[in-house]
Structure 1
Amino acid sequence: MSSTSLNDKEKNPSPEHETTEASLDNAFIKRFPFVGRVLSRLFASGVEARGVERVPEDEREVKNMWNKSVAILSASRQLLTVIVGSLLMWWSVNTVLTTLPIGVLAQEFFFLTLPHAIATIFCFTALGAVLTSFISTLGPRTGLRTMIITRYSSGYIGCTIYSILNILTQLGFSVTAVILGGQTLASINPGTLPLVAGVVIVGICSLVPCFIGYNMVHHYERYAWMVLFVVMIMLLGLGAHAGYDIDAQKPFEDKGRALSSDILSFGGIVFGSVAGWAPVAADYNCRLPVNTSTVKVFTLTFFGLFIPIAFVEILGALLMTITSEAYTEAFKNGGTGGLLGQLLSPWHGFGKFILFLLAFSVIANNVPNTYSAALSIQALGRPFAKVPRFLWTLIIFIAYTVAGVAGREHFAEILSNFLAILSYWTAFFIVIVAEEHFLFRRPGGKLGGYNLDDWDAPSKLPLGIAGVSAGCCGVAGAVVGMAEVWYTGPIGVKAGAEFGADLGFELAAAFAGVTFPLFRWIEIRYTGR
């Protein structure tokens, strides 16, 4: 079986599987005639009908902008504006309250001094940002959502597995977001707003933009960062006024192998906080033109991830060096939300307003979680794709809000364990997609490119044996290398001191990276796809 290259596809687009926005609207209205009038009004008001369906080249963003715009900007400058919008989206998504506690974990769980915490954050954030930025470049090239792209390396079966993992991942992110947002709302006037109510309020506010869809998500994220970045600068200054003690953790920090264990384990959490966006990275630029510069997309996505995540996580680590008794008691009793309440207390009413902004900053983080989780449900198969995306967002909202209410008293434990485990599967997922792209789909490779018409044709996609088998090897690597409270693998034990060192994501990537090329070569050799 021959595979049409991406370049050939650009020159000769086929309409076989391509669907316009209008046709998708009509399809859903005909499929659910008993609520057809409601659906018609929703779509007419701007709610996105498109789910996992490929975005054809003639419906990409800049061409539509060019047809509708009366501005005197050139097409190239319009394109640059759209790409920069992608950077600002990631900046907004990560300049939020939920990023702060990750830096807090450096001292809370691993007793790292500030210099070691900063070095770890820089290195592992950069690694995660590089890998996530690569995935983001596939959006414009294919017009496909991230989970659908996995069908070209792991088939329908592999896509289903990855989609389930991604649903759990986005739910995990959402649970931590609504808990922290609820904690912060409850700390504005202690005793007046129950934590449960805070969790529910934040969850409802997160639902609205992702219910509407792609354009609303981008509009919201394009501007949210402005206020949030100023707020983070304010927190930095207030912390300096309270007094940072850079050597506060020095008496408690481990030495030798134990220190390396702490750095590797904390680094895995940091990596997970960045690479956790890889399974959704292409979702938010699949409407960019196919000829969008890969270098620009990669570079702007990298800085859109690296700068805010590193800055906010370092801020979280800095706040943990404040040794005043009032601050340590506030953290002990109220977690990160309580610490922020104490930090802003000198500003009285204005400080409470800043807390209010911080509590609702998690919306910027939670919107892509909810939106992409709904897409991942659709990617499970055609029966799921027949249900409108916005209905899946409602189900996702209910799921993470209920889970947030149930786990509201265990935020730190949920965060640390969730992010560590998250890094395991995202590591081998990225490696498999990258090796498929660079080894087998490159011009002159075994397959020579992507036949983009086959995105929903199981008989033309890979069987998935190679991708699933390599993924299983990645799981094996994670198991032998992980170091969690509830389990430490044999290599994890030997790599560290008393509690082991978490090498889960490194070994997951290595095991999958070594085995996938061999498995995939055999699969192509005997199936031709």
Structure 2
Amino acid sequence: MSDPEKLSSSALGSPAESDVSGTPAGASTLSLLQRIAKWEDSVGVESRGIEQVPASQRMEISTSSIIQIALTWCSINMVANNMLVGMLGPHVFGLSFKDSAVIAVLGNLLGCAGPAYIAGYGPGTGNRTLVVLRFVFGWYPAKLCAVLQLIGTLGYGLLDALVTGQILSAVSPHGSMTVVVGVIVAAVIVIIVCGVGMKVFHVYERYQLIPQLMVLCILIGVAGSGFDMSVPSIGDAATVRGNRISFFFAIFNTTFIWSMCAADYFVYYPVSTPRWLIGSLTHVGIFVGIIISEIIGIGLASGAVKEGAWKDALDQGAGTLMVEAFKPLGGFGKFCAVVLALGPIANTIPGVYSSALAFQILHQKAILIPRFFWTIFGILLYTVCAIAGRNKLFPIFENFLALMGYWVAYWVVIQVEDEVLFGWWRRRVECSGCSGEAQQGDDSEVHNMAGYTWTSWNQKTKLPLGLAAITAFLIAWMGGILSMYQLWWVGPLGKAAYGDIGVPVGVAFAAVVYPPLRWCEVRIFRR
């Protein structure tokens, strides 16, 4: 079995090193970085960054590795910060328990489709998500998406850290542990797991699911009677309809945003892994994990609508409400709250792992810096921001969540159209003239997916210019801006709908304009 952590070539010693560096690096600096990479390999730390994983260096498929797909996604999403997403329904949008719960189910069923689709690119190409994006957006526009991914992954790290900090602070006697200390504790754990890489990542996600599921079941048992299912949605018919739409897309965005990095975690799976299997297990794993968390959050927020201890706790913070719900259990309840506080760390780890890869997309020389250093840099960045914004959790979450969902939805629809409408053409025209090297051995399967020569991941002259994709992307954003319904901006279409419809309108714009633009790009530039 090929261990994904002990590969025959590191991020610095690959045959494509000359392509990666762009210009010759200083001998002493390169030598030092090579020694660091070799040391990482020797102690089991993943040194590989955005480099493609050849088919010959993948792990063997097994029943446990297949089950691991669903367990990983379930573990990532069955966490306290997704309870916060559920709380938005009653607390922010004034919806009833029933309205919020139905919307959560429907929004997640649709939202999981994005990461389920993108995850299949991992085994199929051996490339990370942003590298796959290069084959549609081209070399330079892909850097814009890398910046957006950094904002998304590190932004969610910030929010997760705040939830952990609030819970730990609320559990500590007389508030002896501040939110700041709780945020730092979460950051240290994330550094350890993300720094080591995929091996520890999968093990951590597998086993942290067990205590999280246990404490959530206990929380349902002790707090379920406080869920208020009788409070109706607030507002007139138009307001309620608009709030339902806005909450639906808040839910949708929470799951769909995983598309921006879903392929990253399965590049070590064999090329022969069925794409439908990866997608199905991804969909099931995300849905099961997130819907449990969100329904509990909806229940807690519905119980906090009326005056009482829960309302007072929620006014202090979402984490404080979670601790208050465990209060009838006394000391054991505090222990359960501490376990719950560690859950958002599992949600942070994959995003931070992917953020290190996004840094390497921004510049060729960034690939020379081992992934571990980019991981630490990203964690320090969001930790400082979390400490600065520790008293503004709900506003940050509500506004940030919507914006991140927009761009991911626009990109995915462009990606789908490119594969479906133009993939057949590439397979017929381009693959017929492939070099023998690309077709040798197991790597021929990597080459053929969607008709792209995936081994050209770092050769910008062999990638599309991306003019069609970036133009469609910007036009989609124009539609999104016209359709927003945020505290700081309400577009004319959003105002007419009484809710945020930026995602569906922007997706429609992108879907309509991309095919003709891409056809023109191919006809003119032959790329």
TM-score (norm 2): 0.89
What's the offset of the Cα at 1:506? 0.8
Choose the corresponding residue for 2:228, options 229, 245, 251: 245
Q: Does 1:52 align with 2:39?
A: no
CA distance in 1, matches of 2:29, 2:273: 35
What's the offset of the Cα at 1:122? 1.0
- Please, which moves more after superposition, 89-98 or 213-222? 213-222
CA distance in 1, matches of 2:29, 2:204: 31
What's the offset of the Cα at 1:450? 1.1
Amino acid at match of 1:87: A
Amino acid at match of 2:111: G
Q: Cα gap change, 1:24/1:426 in structure 2, threshold over 3 Å: closer, same or farther? A: closer
Secondary structure in structure 2 of the residue aligned to 1:156: coil
Other-structure match for 1:173? 156
Other-structure match for 2:414? 432
State whether residues 97 and 228 of structure 2, in contact with CA within 8 Å, keep that contact through their aligned partners in structure 1: no
Please show how residues 156-235 of structure 1 align to structure 2 within 5 Å. Answer: 156-189=139-172, 190-235=174-219
Please show how residues 366-385 of structure 1 align to structure 2 within 5 Å. Answer: 366-385=348-367
Secondary structure in structure 2 of the residue aligned to 1:505: helix
State whether residues 137 and 467 of structure 2, in contact with CA within 8 Å, keep that contact through their aligned partners in structure 1: yes
What's the offset of the Cα at 1:327? 1.4
Other-structure match for 1:10? none
Unaligned runs of at least 5 residues, structure 1: 1-18, 63-77
Other-structure match for 1:409? 391
Q: Cα gap change, 1:212/1:30 in structure 2, threshold over 3 Å: closer, same or farther? A: farther
Q: Cα gap change, 1:31/1:82 in structure 2, threshold over 3 Å: closer, same or farther? A: farther
What's the offset of the Cα at 1:452? 1.3
Q: Does 1:148 align with 2:135?
A: no
What's the offset of the Cα at 1:167? 0.4
Q: What count of residue pairs does the alignment treat as equivalent?
A: 488
State whether residues 21 and 49 of structure 1, in contact with CA within 8 Å, keep that contact through their aligned partners in structure 2: no
Secondary structure in structure 2 of the residue aligned to 1:22: coil
Amino acid at match of 2:508: A
Other-structure match for 1:525? 523
CA distance in 1, matches of 2:147, 2:219: 37
CA distance in 2, matches of 1:458, 1:102: 40
CA distance in 2, matches of 1:440, 1:423: 25
Amino acid at match of 1:22: S
Q: Cα gap change, 1:387/1:36 in structure 2, threshold over 3 Å: closer, same or farther? A: closer
Secondary structure in structure 1 of the residue aligned to 2:139: helix
Q: Does 1:97 align with 2:84?
A: no
Other-structure match for 2:311? 328
- Please, which moves more after superposition, 180-189 or 346-355? 346-355
Q: Cα gap change, 1:436/1:30 in structure 2, threshold over 3 Å: closer, same or farther? A: farther
Choose the corresponding residue for 1:459, options 458, 461, 474: 461
CA distance in 1, matches of 2:283, 2:84: 22
Q: Does 1:278 align with 2:259?
A: yes
State whether residues 11 and 51 of structure 2, in contact with CA within 8 Å, keep that contact through their aligned partners in structure 1: no
State whether residues 21 and 50 of structure 1, in contact with CA within 8 Å, keep that contact through their aligned partners in structure 2: no
State whether residues 137 and 466 of structure 2, in contact with CA within 8 Å, keep that contact through their aligned partners in structure 1: yes
Q: Cα gap change, 1:80/1:97 in structure 2, threshold over 3 Å: closer, same or farther? A: same
CA distance in 1, matches of 2:322, 2:105: 24
CA distance in 2, matches of 1:133, 1:445: 27
Choose the corresponding residue for 1:474, options 470, 473, 476: 476
What's the offset of the Cα at 1:191? 2.0
Unaligned runs of at least 5 residues, structure 2: 1-5, 18-26, 432-450
CA distance in 1, matches of 2:206, 2:227: 33
Other-structure match for 1:362? 344
TM-score (norm 1): 0.89
Secondary structure in structure 2 of the residue aligned to 1:186: helix
CA distance in 2, matches of 1:344, 1:445: 61
Q: Does 1:341 align with 2:328?
A: no
Q: Deviations over 1:461-484 (max 9, x none)?
A: 001101110110111111011110
Amino acid at match of 1:213: G
CA distance in 1, matches of 2:78, 2:28: 42
Q: Does 1:387 align with 2:385?
A: no
What's the offset of the Cα at 1:20? 5.1
Q: Does 1:495 align with 2:493?
A: no
Amino acid at match of 2:277: K
CA distance in 2, matches of 1:476, 1:287: 38
CA distance in 2, matches of 1:179, 1:49: 29
CA distance in 2, matches of 1:372, 1:480: 31
Other-structure match for 1:24? 11
Q: Does 1:299 align with 2:301?
A: no
Other-structure match for 1:319? 300
What's the offset of the Cα at 1:21? 3.9
Amino acid at match of 2:159: T
State whether residues 30 and 36 of structure 1, in contact with CA within 8 Å, keep that contact through their aligned partners in structure 2: no
Q: Cα gap change, 1:326/1:466 in structure 2, threshold over 3 Å: closer, same or farther? A: same
State whether residues 427 and 509 of structure 1, in contact with CA within 8 Å, keep that contact through their aligned partners in structure 2: yes
Other-structure match for 1:485? 487
Amino acid at match of 1:110: F
Other-structure match for 2:448? none
CA distance in 2, matches of 1:520, 1:343: 54
State whether residues 136 and 281 of structure 1, in contact with CA within 8 Å, keep that contact through their aligned partners in structure 2: yes
What's the offset of the Cα at 1:441? 1.5
CA distance in 1, matches of 2:138, 2:422: 14
What's the offset of the Cα at 1:519? 0.9
What's the offset of the Cα at 1:25? 5.6
Q: Cα gap change, 1:158/1:79 in structure 2, threshold over 3 Å: closer, same or farther? A: farther
Secondary structure in structure 1 of the residue aligned to 2:138: helix
CA distance in 2, matches of 1:342, 1:123: 29
CA RMSD of aligned residues (A): 1.9
Q: Cα gap change, 1:237/1:155 in structure 2, threshold over 3 Å: closer, same or farther? A: same
State whether residues 135 and 281 of structure 1, in contact with CA within 8 Å, keep that contact through their aligned partners in structure 2: yes
Other-structure match for 1:61? 59
Identity among equivalent positions (%) equals 31
Other-structure match for 2:332? 350
State whether residues 440 and 446 of structure 1, in contact with CA within 8 Å, keep that contact through their aligned partners in structure 2: no
CA distance in 2, matches of 1:36, 1:139: 26
Choose the corresponding residue for 1:266, options 247, 262, 267: 247
Q: Cα gap change, 1:182/1:23 in structure 2, threshold over 3 Å: closer, same or farther? A: closer
What's the offset of the Cα at 1:324? 6.4
